[in-house]
Amino acid sequence: MGRALLGLRDTLAMREPFTRRLTHLNRYVRDVATDFALFVSGKRDPELPPHRYRQIGPGDFRERGKWLASMLVRNGLEADHRVLDIGCGIGRVALGLTSVLSREGSYDGFDVDARAVRWCNDNLSPRYPNLRFTHANVATARHNRGGVPAAQYRFPFDDASFDFAFATSVFTHLEMDAALHYFREAHRVLRPGGILVATVFLFDETPSKLEFPVDRGDHRLTSSGSGVAFADGSVGMLLPADCWSDVRIQRGSWKSGGTFSVLTQDVINARRR
């Protein structure tokens, strides 16, 4: 019986990628139909990306962006800051920040999804000149198999270029070596005293509906390998005291809610020394 259960588990694990691809395909077809209906009716909002390009989960695109922008303000973002978005996607937070940043403020975002970056440069930057978007040539299974490993990617910005940097739902997909490198790069591009805000999953022994069964010691993975949670005790390794100060952790509700949504992840706030 034990071997039979193990065999069933392995079979289901092998089928999971196919099931996930089928789910993505069904969602894409539905989104294409929605985009076509909006185009025909003339109700398409030129500031919002097509539904088929949005890979950020459910919810209203604009309102979620505003909520995230307000969360950043609560964590120290000011109107005249030079802001870096690590993993900007297709501009959800960038659009939310247009009502926050002043003319003296600026925003740079980079992402591995070339299509998303291209859409933002074609549709958001012309309307908001202080928003800039850059493609990150980082290897990912979904977007760019030919890029450099995340653990070797150098952010395309000079040292001490930014007052504020943030990463939403980025470290939840980076294993430890890549995460350590990204935190070091964030430290490099922030000015002394600059603020970093990052959403993460931090696991302890508290039961959770969202499972990370693959144990890598200082971090764990979901069964598919796409989600990453760091051990509670690894925060000091990710944000060493000689590089960061005022480290604060705001606990999210992901353990009780069982969701990957950025709205329920844990939030780390730290100041660059």
Same structural domain, 40 and 165: no
Residue 92 structural domain: 61-272
Same structural domain, 174 and 215: yes
Number of compact structural domains in the chain: 2
One-letter amino acid at 196 equals L
Q: Is residue 193 a contact partner of residue 268, using CB atoms and an 8 Å limit?
A: no
Report if residue 52 sits inside a domain: no
Same structural domain, 39 and 80: no
Report if residue 53 sits inside a domain: no
Same structural domain, 140 and 17: no
Report if residue 34 sits inside a domain: yes
Same structural domain, 8 and 118: no
Same structural domain, 38 and 81: no
Q: What is the DSSP string of 145-194?
A: TTSB-GGGPPPSS-TT-EEEEEESSSGGG--HHHHHHHHHHHHHHEEEEE
Same structural domain, 113 and 183: yes
pLDDT tens column, 88-146? 999 999 999 999 999 999 999 999 999 999 999 999 999 999 999 999 999 988 777 78
Model confidence at 86: pLDDT above 80: yes
- The set of residues, in sequence order, having a beta carbon less than 8 Å from that of 273 and lying 6+ positions away, is 192, 242, 243, 244, 245
Q: Is residue 243 a contact partner of residue 193, using CB atoms and an 8 Å limit?
A: no
Report if residue 175 sits inside a domain: yes
Q: How far apart are CA 110 and CA 112, in angstroms?
A: 7
3-state secondary structure of 137: coil
Report if residue 55 sits inside a domain: no
Same structural domain, 67 and 170: yes
Same structural domain, 167 and 199: yes
pLDDT tens column, 207-226? 888 899 999 999 999 998 98
Strands 82-86, 190-200: parallel, antiparallel or unpaired by DSSP?
unpaired
Q: Is residue 181 a contact partner of residue 153, using CB atoms and an 8 Å limit?
A: yes
pLDDT tens column, 146-156? 899 999 999 99
Q: Which residue spans within the chain are E strands per DSSP?
A: 82-86, 106-111, 131-135, 162-167, 190-200, 202-203, 214-215, 219-221, 228-231, 244-250, 266-272
Report if residue 205 sits inside a domain: yes
Q: What is the mean pLDDT of the chain?
A: 88
Report if residue 113 sits inside a domain: yes
Same structural domain, 110 and 240: yes
Q: Is residue 178 a contact partner of residue 151, using CB atoms and an 8 Å limit?
A: yes
CATH at residue 261: 3.40.50.150
Q: Is the dihedral of CA 16, 20, 25, 26 positive or negative?
A: positive
